[in-house]
Amino acid sequence: MSRPAETDKVRRWHGVVANANDLEERRVWVVWGLAAPPEHAAEPERYPPGDAANDIAIEIASENDPDFAEADDDHRWIMLVEGDEDDVDAWVGTHPIASGYTSYLIPDRPPAKTTPLDDI
Residue 7 domain flag? no
pTM of the model: 0.66
Does the pLDDT value for residue 28 go beyond 50?
Answer: yes
Q: Which of 83, 28, 105, 18 is nearest to 7 (CA)?
A: 18
Q: Which of 91, 108, 81 is nearest to 18 (CA)?
A: 108
Q: Domain containing 47: what range?
A: 20-119
Alpha helix positions (H), the chain: 55-64, 66-70, 85-94
Residue 13 domain flag? no
Residue 2 domain flag? no
For the beta carbon of residue 62, count every other beta carbon within 10 angstroms: 17
For the beta carbon of residue 111, count every other beta carbon within 10 angstroms: 6
103's CB contacts (< 8 A; 6+ apart) are 17, 18, 27, 28, 29, 30, 85
Residue 55 domain flag? yes
Residue 27 domain flag? yes
Residue 5 domain flag? no
In the chain, how many domains are there? Answer: 1
pLDDT, tens digit, for every residue of 54-105?
A: 999 999 999 999 999 999 988 999 999 998 888 899 999 998 889 999 999 8
